[in-house]
Amino acid sequence: MKKSEPIIVIGGGASGMMAALEAARCGAKVAILEKEKRIGKKLLATGNGRCNFSNIDPDLRYYHGEDLRLAESVLKQISAEEVLRIFHQLGITHKIEEAGKVYPYSDQGSAVLDVLRYEIEMQNINILTETKAVSIHKKKDYFMIKTNKDELIEAKKVILATGGKAGSQFGADGSGYQLAQSLGHRLVDPFPAIVQLKLHAPWLKAVNGVKWQGQVCYNRNGKCLRTEKGEILFTEYGISGPPVLQLGRLASRQHKNDTVKIDLFPTWGMEQIQAEVYTRLQSNPQKPADFSLVGLLHKKMIPVLLKEAGVDKVGKPSSEITEKEIKNLIYLLKEWEIGVSGTLSWQHAQVTAGGIDTREIHSSGLESQLISGLYLTGEVLDTDGDCGGYNLHWAWCTGLLAGRQAASFL
């Protein structure tokens, strides 16, 4: 069976919904192809269910990719204020939290999806769920899209908003890359970003579940590539938590000898640490070494750190701890270096790094430089942002520009 639509948006995620809405507002007839049962499924998982849907400072320094000229242009064309104004018109009153993160005032991420779905319904946008585009080609002035239901859909314009590979439990599979490649586009190899780190360490199970406010530095060949502060979560596989997730894209392209250095006391200088440790271990020589550190360190961490410092029996009297072992312990508290073995899988990643080469996309409206009438948005492109609302901001901006441009050139 053959259908015909002026504009087809492939993918009903954040950028796809925004692109469809903007095109419809500009007077175009639009349909969304969504392979899942409902549109916007992944949106509900962002910000721990609260939906950190933008950031008031979407500066280029928070974005990554092989070539950021497209990102620079997009971020200049659509401001944070415009994004927030659009969402306010949809019904979302926002609040701004630390580091410029923007959330719905209700703290309900579902509200963002609810208002988008409502407006899509009001704009009479046709949603074809459980419908996956399996192939696409252009025939003269029209695109021919074949679906998993053996339907052939004809469209004058196509907006490819299929997302990346991160969050496979929400249906992300990277299928949009193959569609773009079939039309001649180059793919920058995708890899997980905003993802937990796996570490080389035999003691990980012993500290599983420990949360600690600290600082993490990602090292390669003795050079610190990036440092992040915040709550570190120790797990059976390695480390997680907001500062760790920011380092994920480095570990995804991990080199053999990459390490992390953890500073357990980032607000303390070395002299303060030395004074604290020496006082604890020397003020009561008969007190067991491990008990001497209670109140300074998490109980699960104490035996691990003492053993890492070279102490054979962690419960022996403090007086038996050698000067070398004390110095080792002090060093570990400020520069605990642990080998990196990689990251968790796509299922655990929050965003995809890599994607379709942005040098093949026009910056004015996200149209392909290779195929006229084809637009690419959001995570399918080789642009990813840090934690903090930057990736959803990118999705809204690219969706707005692509929808606007596609509708204006029908």
- Tell me, what CATH number does 163's domain have? 3.50.50.60
Mean pLDDT over residues 207-231, rounded? 97
Residues 60 and 33 in one domain: yes
pLDDT band at 359 (very low <50, low <70, confident <90, very high): very high
Mean pLDDT over residues 86-109, rounded? 97
| pLDDT number for residue 400 | 99
Percent of the chain having pLDDT more than 90?
93
pLDDT band at 80 (very low <50, low <70, confident <90, very high): very high
Residues 95 and 170 in one domain: yes
Residues 265 and 359 in one domain: no
Report how far residue 89's alpha carbon sits from residue 81's, in angstroms, rounded to the nearest whole number. Answer: 12
Quick: pLDDT tens for 281-301: 999 999 999 999 999 999 999
| pLDDT number for residue 109 | 92
Final residue of a structural domain among 343, 368, 393:
343
Residues 154 and 82 in one domain: yes
pLDDT at position 30 over 90: yes
Report how far residue 374's alpha carbon sits from residue 143's, in angstroms, rounded to the nearest whole number. Answer: 9
> Where are the alpha helices (H) located in 253-292, listed in sequence order?
270-282, 289-292
Final residue of a structural domain among 343, 365, 383:
343
Residue 156 tokens, joined: 């004058």
Specify the higher pLDDT residue, 257 or 357: 357
Final residue of a structural domain among 303, 322, 343:
343
Quick: pLDDT tens for 153-170: 999 999 999 999 999 888
**What burial class does residue 25 get, using C-beta atoms within 10 Å of its C-beta: 0-12 exposed, 13-18 middle, 19+ buried?**
middle
Q: Helix, strand or coil for residue 329?
A: helix
Report how far residue 361's alpha carbon sits from residue 374's, in angstroms, rounded to the nearest whole number. Answer: 10
How many distinct helices (H) and strands (E) make up the chain?
12, 20
3-state helix, strand and coil shares in percent for the chain, rounded to the nearest 5? 35, 30, 35
pLDDT at position 343 over 70: yes
Residues 186 and 320 in one domain: no
Residues 231 and 154 in one domain: no
Mean pLDDT over residues 46-69, rounded? 94
pLDDT at position 406 over 70: yes
Question: Which of 172, 156, 115 lies closest to 31 in space, CA to CA?
Answer: 156
Residues 287 and 370 in one domain: no
The answer to whether 361 and 70 have CB atoms below 8 angstroms apart is: yes
Quick: pLDDT tens for 120-147: 999 999 999 999 999 999 999 999 999 9
pLDDT at position 54 over 80: yes
Residues 257 and 114 in one domain: no
pLDDT band at 193 (very low <50, low <70, confident <90, very high): very high
Question: Which of 192, 296, 211 lies closest to 262 in space, CA to CA?
Answer: 211
Q: What is the average pLDDT value for the chain, to the nearest integer?
A: 96
Instruction: Name the β-bridge partners of 153.
Output: 3, 145
Residues 373 and 292 in one domain: no
| pLDDT number for residue 171 | 86
pLDDT at position 84 over 60: yes
Mean pLDDT over residues 260-265, rounded? 99
State the total domains in the chain. Answer: 2
| pLDDT number for residue 2 | 67
Residues 170 and 38 in one domain: yes
Question: Which of 11, 107, 128, 89 lies closest to 52 in space, CA to CA?
Answer: 107
| pLDDT number for residue 44 | 81
pLDDT at position 380 over 80: yes
**What burial class does residue 256 get, using C-beta atoms within 10 Å of its C-beta: 0-12 exposed, 13-18 middle, 19+ buried?**
exposed
pLDDT at position 256 over 90: no
Residues 165 and 16 in one domain: yes
Residues 155 and 19 in one domain: yes
pLDDT at position 104 over 80: yes
Range of 377's domain?
Answer: 2-191+350-408
pLDDT band at 3 (very low <50, low <70, confident <90, very high): confident
Q: Helix, strand or coil for residue 353?
A: strand
Question: Which of 45, 31, 22 lies closest to 172 in space, CA to CA?
Answer: 45
Q: Helix, strand or coil for residue 301?
A: helix
Among 1-5, 94-98, 186-190, 361-365, which is the least confidently predicted range? 1-5
pLDDT band at 1 (very low <50, low <70, confident <90, very high): low
Mean pLDDT over residues 396-410, rounded? 96
Mean pLDDT over residues 29-34, rounded? 98
